[in-house]
Amino acid sequence: MSPAEYERLDALGMAELVAKGEVAPVELVDLAIAQIERLNPQLNAVVFSDYDGARDRARGNLPNGPFKGVPFLLKDILGDLEGWPTRNGSRLCLPLPMPFTSTLVERFLAGGLVPIGKTNVPEFGLVGTTESKLYGPAKNPWGAEHSTGGSSGGSGAAVASGMVPVAHANDGGGSIRIPASCNGLIGLKPTRARNPLGPMLGDVMGGIVAEHVVSRSVRDTAAMLDVTAGPAPGDPYSAPAAPANWLAASQQPCPRLRIGFARTRPGGGSPLDPQAVAAVEHAARLCEDLGHHVEEASPPVTSEALFEPFIAIWASGAAMQIDGICQMTGQNPGPDNLEGLTRGLYEIGKATSAPQLWGAIFQLQQMARSVAAWHANFDIWLTPTLGAPPPRNGTFVLDSEDVETGFGAMTDYVPFTAIQNATGQPAINVPLWWTPEGLPMGTQFVGRVGEEALLLQLATQLETAQPWFDRRPAL
């Protein structure tokens, strides 16, 4: 197989060739390694590699899963594989081998995937751009001066550039959907608890964080749920019932939907970038052309109402993690091992009382109820994924302890995605728009809790109407 043929395949396409005996898993791994070696000096997407281990795994007795033999990258947050380090993009986390494999990664392995390495992240995944002091900035394959988004920015750049067809990602405020938008990919944040967080964790930050992947095709994203979805023993709660087969469900005809769309920020405020408005209006017209009812409408949520409780949960969760690492390693948090914005969040988290934290959780639960009531009349909420096209790296101030200023700028850029982390709803980024400069500008489709299948059916319909798979950055 040539590198060009490798780049033309999605993950299921590669697995089909392996199943037919037309290509060996180790051949795919070698092609992925060659792509990483060629492209990573430009993009800084991969920050850890284990080529020999990947080749050994590919030559071994791989599980007969739907992705048998497909090369894969894990994110350097929650992508725990025994023997590999997980550094969370932070100097505070020492490069020590993990003593266990997470439940999700065990399921990736059971699906036949072959991990090759780990992808670049911002420190502790706290911001929507990937520019840590530990690893340096990841660079967007559509424009190397621009951000890949975050926190799954390395995964987004790796998939968009053709290093691997699919990569691990997770999402605490948009961290699957933001890089999917910046890199022209499919990025599904599943319903809360759809994918497991064990064995160490029940949930993360009160259920804000969800796990999945970024990919170039809807079918890869759907089929990955067949590998990963479902509760593990001891999980504190589980998602609503799932279809018998996610891939098959995603390929069912999409029913006529009632879609409300937004071209202004939640609750008002400064105007969105004209390209964000153009992207969502294009998606709305396309949905209308496909027979859906589309009107301008949004649930009763505001960025201002979300900001304070979200930061309380975000900061206290970060403080718990930092204190735990320091306790295990004998370090003290400070400027030598934490970036400024992380230190600012840490201080807020340490100062947040238990009643304040539970009050914040209560506020987000109330928001979830009001949004669910709105969805009684609308199947889908359509929004720009981001408030503006991918910014240049260095745009955001990450080394100041001024959280209100640092996260205020980030909220202006990411006005929609954290809402679904608060409510537990599924949401998917679909790549339907590129700016005149050639930068991707995704649109987000939000569904009711438990209705990922409906989002995947709509995304499949859009993929057929306006194919994007063969649109690639020139590298």
- Per the annotation, the verdict on 155 as an active-site residue is no
Q: How far apart are CA 197 and CA 195, in angstroms?
A: 7
Give residue for tokens 């950055």. Answer: 473
Strands (E), 76-209: 114-119, 131-132, 136-137, 166-171, 186-189
- The catalytically annotated residue of 49, 90, 132, 151 is 151
Nearest residue to 287 via CA among 445, 178, 425:
445
Tokens of 21: 């005996």
- The catalytically annotated residue of 68, 75, 118, 139 is 75
Q: Are residues 303 and 398 in contact, defined by beta-carbon separation less than 8 angstroms?
A: no
Helix (H, G, I), strand (E, B), or coil: what is residue 144?
coil
Residues constituting the chain: 475
User: Hey, how many other C-beta atoms are within 10 angstroms of the C-beta on 368?
Assistant: 20
User: Hey, how many other C-beta atoms are within 10 angstroms of the C-beta on 324?
Assistant: 10
- The catalytically annotated residue of 90, 102, 147, 175 is 175
Which residues, including other chains, have CB under 8 Å from residue 268's CB and lie 6 or more apart? 302
Buried b (16+ CB within 10 A) or exposed e, 164-187: bbbbbbbbbbbbbbbbbbbbbbbb
- Per the annotation, the verdict on 215 as an active-site residue is no
User: Hey, how many other C-beta atoms are within 10 angstroms of the C-beta on 349?
Assistant: 22
- Per the annotation, the verdict on 118 as an active-site residue is no
Q: How far apart are CA 33 and CA 158, in angstroms?
A: 12
Strand order in the sheet with 293-296: 46-49, 114-119, 71-75, 166-171, 210-215, 186-189, 427-430, 443-446, 380-384, 258-261, 293-296
Q: How far apart are CA 303 and CA 413, in angstroms?
A: 12
Q: How far apart are CA 36 and CA 170, in angstroms?
A: 21
**Which sequence positions are flagged as catalytic?**
75, 151, 175
